[in-house]
């Protein structure tokens, strides 16, 4: 508001809540678009109004094309009753389809997460069999099979490589030893990011809003490594997390990092959290080409397959 008034003053105009006035009289804009146009600006979406570079971008016609809710094609990062989710996979898939989504990416908790019903390798393979049966029945709707694999203290994932290789995608997340110092926590994340089997890095700070501070880590180093290895960065849009925040998301977008808007769904309310994630992505200046779940089913399948073909720096493990 202050910057807008300053701009108007430089143009010889005055702005208040009713009008824009100047030497040649007053105008009474009926829309926001008309208001901004009177000041020589393109319309600035509300999410971008931070008093930063958005006014200069609006003046030069360089505001980004922002993602919209209807461009989200599917749900990524969902928990079923195989671990700590409330509903069977079939019910989740049917609810996705009812809401207009084309796919569901199931990622239950991994073997280390005993507190959340984490899956042994055997149970994970049984889940794979059930997903194959469901996909045969529900086509063209698609369930992609993944896991939220715990990142251990040394940065490794908590399944053998041959187990992870059988999945469509792997989400890596830290749920333990949250009191590491900054150097240790950063090293842990960097090791995980370098793992060729990691598809998505989840909620990188581990924060729980209003109840738990995130652990300290070198965000610049982590984002650069994510960009280097073309790992997807999750924006966990559960209201208790919103991790990472919009400023880091904006930084990620400028580094060319793909972002996934993930509700960390455990029950039906999780579907409604996706719209909050879209708002945060918009605030971060992100467009649909930068969002993983704006891809259609076939495009996402091709992306997952291409990720699995990356060279393995540690063959034979």
- What pLDDT digit, counting tens, does each position of 86-97 carry? 999 999 999 999
CB atoms within 10 A of CB 9: 11
Name every residue whose Cβ is closer than 8 Å to that of residue 88 and which is 6 or more positions away in sequence: 80, 81
For residue 313, name the pLDDT band (cuts at 50, 70, 90). Answer: low
Where along the chain do its domains lie? 1-60, 69-309
* Mean pLDDT, residues 47-70: 96
pTM: 0.93
- Of 145, 118, 117, nearest in space to 129 by CA: 145
* Mean pLDDT, residues 71-78: 99
Alpha helices in 99-181 (DSSP H): 121-138, 161-164
Please work out, in degrees rounded to the nearest 5, the angle formed at the alpha carbon of residue 149 by the alpha carbons of 269 and 169: 80
Answer yes or no: is pLDDT of 316 > 60. Answer: no
pLDDT digits (tens, 9 = 90+) for 97-110: 999 999 999 999 99
- Of 263, 189, 174, nearest in space to 231 by CA: 189
For residue 301, name the pLDDT band (cuts at 50, 70, 90). Answer: very high
pLDDT given for residue 106 in this prediction? 99
Pick the residue with more confidence: 312 or 180? Answer: 180
Evaluate whether 46 touches 52 at the Cβ level (below 8 Å).
Answer: no
Looking at the DSSP bridge assignments, the partners of residue 106 are 78, 145
Strands 103-109 and 142-150, by their bridges, are parallel
Angle, helix 182-194 to helix 219-229, in steps of 10 degrees: 10
Mean pLDDT of the chain: 94
pLDDT digits (tens, 9 = 90+) for 204-237: 998 999 899 888 999 999 999 999 999 999 999 9
pLDDT given for residue 113 in this prediction? 85
* Mean pLDDT, residues 188-201: 98
Answer yes or no: is pLDDT of 317 > 60. Answer: no
- 299: number of CA atoms within 13 Å, CB side? 10
User: Which of 11-20, 57-66, 102-111, 134-143 has the lowest average pLDDT?
Assistant: 11-20
Looking at the DSSP bridge assignments, the partners of residue 64 are none
CATH, domain 1-60, list 3.60.130.10, 1.10.10.60, 3.40.50.1100, 3.30.210.10: 3.30.210.10
pLDDT given for residue 310 in this prediction? 66
| Residue 228 Cα distances to 199, 222, 290, angstroms | 13, 10, 16
What is the rounded CA–CA span in Å between residue 162 and residue 159? 8
pLDDT given for residue 24 in this prediction? 83
pLDDT given for residue 312 in this prediction? 56
CATH, domain 69-309, list 1.20.1090.10, 3.40.50.10490, 3.20.20.140, 3.40.710.10: 3.20.20.140
Answer yes or no: is pLDDT of 276 > 50. Answer: yes
pLDDT given for residue 177 in this prediction? 86
| Residue 51 Cα distances to 4, 38, 48, 84, 283, angstroms | 9, 19, 8, 42, 12
Please work out, in degrees rounded to the nearest 5, the angle formed at the alpha carbon of residue 83 by the alpha carbons of 127 and 191: 90
Reduced to 3 states (helix: H, G, I; strand: E, B; else coil), residue 87 is coil
């Amino acid at each position: 508001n202050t910057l807008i008034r300053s701009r108007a003053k430089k143009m010889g105009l005055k702005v208040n809540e009713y009008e824009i006035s100047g030497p040649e009289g007053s105008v009474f804009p009926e829309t926001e678009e008309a208001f901004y146009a009177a000041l020589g600006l393109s319309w600035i979406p509300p999410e971008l109004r931070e008093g930063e570079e958005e006014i200069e971008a609006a003046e030069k016609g360089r505001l980004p094309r922002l993602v919209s809710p209807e461009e989200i094609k599917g749900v990524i990062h969902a928990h079923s009753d195989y671990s700590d989710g409330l509903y069977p996979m079939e019910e989740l898939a049917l609810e996705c389809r009812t809401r207009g989504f084309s796919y569901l990416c199931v990622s239950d908790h991994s073997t280390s997460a005993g507190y959340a019903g984490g899956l042994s390798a055997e149970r994970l393979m049984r889940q794979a069999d059930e997903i194959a049966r469901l996909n045969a029945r529900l086509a063209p709707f698609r369930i992609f099979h993944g896991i939220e694999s715990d990142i251990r203290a040394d940065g490794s994932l908590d399944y053998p490589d041959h187990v992870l290789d059988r999945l469509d995608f792997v989400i890596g997340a830290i749920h333990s030893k949250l009191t590491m110092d900054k150097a240790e926590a950063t090293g842990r994340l960097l090791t995980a990011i370098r793992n060729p089997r990691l598809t998505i890095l989840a909620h990188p700070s581990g924060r729980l809003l209003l109840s738990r501070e995130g652990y300290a880590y070198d965000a610049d180093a982590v984002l650069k490594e994510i960009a280097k290895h073309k790992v997807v960065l999750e924006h966990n849009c559960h209201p208790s997390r919103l991790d990472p925040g919009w400023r880091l998301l904006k930084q990620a977008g400028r580094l060319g990092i793909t972002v996934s808007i993930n509700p960390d769904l455990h029950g039906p309310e999780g579907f409604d959290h996706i719209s909050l994630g879209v708002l945060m992505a918009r605030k971060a200046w992100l467009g649909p080409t930068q969002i993983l779940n704006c891809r259609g089913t076939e495009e996402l399948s091709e992306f997952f397959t291409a990720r699995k073909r990356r060279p393995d720096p540690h063959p034979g493990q």
